[in-house]
Structure 1
Amino acid sequence: MRIVLVGPPGAGKGTQAAYLAKNLSIPHISTGDLFRANISQGTALGKQAKAYMDAGNLVPDEVTIAMAKDRMEQPDAQGGFLLDGFPRNVSQAEALDEMLKAESMKLDAVLDLEVPEDEVVKRIAGRRVCRNESSHVFHVTYAPPKQEGVCDTCGGELYQRDDDREETVRKRLEVYHTQTEPIIDYYRSQGLVVTIAALGKVEEVTERAMSALRGDRAA
């Protein structure tokens, strides 16, 4: 299957993408991973992306599109893939359509993870990260540490990252509504969008998505 996963920041796209890719036996292709891989390997595209990022600028669509095209042409993606973070806007969606059309392929579904805006803010703004080890993550409501402000694992100080602050989260949501949300209407006109309620346990959301992909679109 060839699937695009969309949803606002904090909707759990990365977590769901990993579960779904495993269940469907297809590679999970995320924009963040593409950037990191190309930059660490020193590819021509990676060098271009790094130059823009180092200057504090957004990476242009053509560089992102070229990275995605290169990844989708790899042998493990020939039987399908799950795209996470790409396309990010309508022009990227149009470019993806052209890429697939050139290979006589098409998307099977666009999964739209739906989460109320207040819940998104609560999820992200409540995150606390350990200063000693960034993989040690807690949440003031959903996964609080035993002692406030102290990492259960190593005793390090827990803090709120600047990009997790409420005002920053709301700005990120504005960007999502302006740039990315329009692709949902673009794909809806093609009859590809399946909206999934992304509240509840991770496994429950995954099962809703799998059920929808099996043809029960009332997920």
Structure 2
Amino acid sequence: MVQRLLIMGPQGVGKGTQAALLANNYGIPAISTGDIFRYNLKNGTPLGKEAQGYIDKGELVPDELTNKIVADRLGMEDAKAGWILDGYPRSASQVQALDVMLDQLQTPLTAVVALNADRDVLMERMKKRAEIEGRADDTPEVIAKRLDVYAKETEPLLSIYKERGLLIQVDGVGAIDEISSTIIAQLSERG
């Protein structure tokens, strides 16, 4: 079965790790919106140049441009056999934009994998990651703000996908390979 998956959850829950493992398991690309942006910026694509204009002014890239960049990536050859999208959608308007993209590509979404973990666990993981990676932007205050933004803006999107019968909830705490196995088993049950 072709897998077209969203992987969602708060920062520090292990989305990137699980996306990479699932991508390897299914032989499909793990697509991180951050990676898409970096690719377009680095390669000076027309979309990258447009995004750079906002970044240079210290502004957030607007949804309309983010949507174009995601649509462009999902339309690439390697994504025809499926994909795992990490970091998108983050708002109700992006859910609507993704619906339109998938309709135009005639590629329905298979499932939405939501990884969950307690806030205390996430704060501790992010603190450790900051120490290991030397990330100055991962202060406790910044981490707490990111988690608040996720809870307020992105977490409510899970109810949309639950209503559509697409949501798979998985505990993001435990052995990495066990979490992966749980996700794969739940996807297999869906047929």
Tell me if TM exceeds 0.5. Answer: yes
**2:16 alignment partner AA:** G
Q: What residue is the counterpart of 2:180 in the other structure?
A: 206
Q: Structure 1 residue 54: deviation in Å?
A: 2.0
1:40 aligns with 2:37: no
Matches within 5 A, 1:7-22: 7-22=9-24
Per-residue CA distance 1:109-147 (angstroms, 9 max, x = gap): 000001111100011023344xxxxxxx37xxxxxxxxx
Under a length normalisation based on structure 2, what TM-score does the superposition of the two structures give?
A: 0.94
Q: What residue is the counterpart of 2:113 in the other structure?
A: 111
Q: What residue is the counterpart of 1:142 in the other structure?
A: none
Measure, in 2, the Cα distance between the counterparts of 1:59 and 1:5.
Answer: 21
Structure 1 runs of 4+ off > 4 angstroms? none
1:163 aligned counterpart, secondary structure = coil
**2:169 alignment partner AA:** T
Q: Which has the higher contact order (CA 8 A, sep 6+)?
A: 2
Indicate the RMSD between aligned Cα atoms, in angstroms: 1.6
Corresponding residue pairs, total: 189
Measure, in 2, the Cα distance between the counterparts of 1:2 and 1:102.
Answer: 15
Q: Structure 1 residue 197: deviation in Å?
A: 0.5
Under a length normalisation based on structure 1, what TM-score does the superposition of the two structures give?
A: 0.82
Question: Gaps spanning 5+ residues in structure 1: where?
Answer: 130-136, 139-158
**1:207 alignment partner AA:** S
Matching residue within 61, 64, 87 for 2:63: 61
Question: Gaps spanning 5+ residues in structure 2: where?
Answer: none
As a proportion of its length, which structure holds more helix? 2
Q: What residue is the counterpart of 2:86 in the other structure?
A: 84
Give the greater-gyration-radius structure (CA): 1
Q: Structure 1 residue 167: deviation in Å?
A: 1.3
**1:214 alignment partner AA:** S
Measure, in 2, the Cα distance between the counterparts of 1:2 and 1:76.
Answer: 12
**2:81 alignment partner AA:** G
Matching residue within 150, 168, 187 for 1:194: 168
For the 8 Å contact 1:86–1:92, the answer to whether it is kept is yes
For the 8 Å contact 2:130–2:136, the answer to whether it is kept is no
1:178 aligns with 2:180: no
Per-residue CA distance 1:136-195 (angstroms, 9 max, x = gap): x37xxxxxxxxxxxxxxxxxxxx5x33221111110011111221121111111110000
For the 8 Å contact 2:41–2:51, the answer to whether it is kept is yes
Measure, in 2, the Cα distance between the counterparts of 1:37 and 1:104.
Answer: 25
**1:99 alignment partner AA:** M
Measure, in 1, the Cα distance between the counterparts of 2:88 and 2:164.
Answer: 17
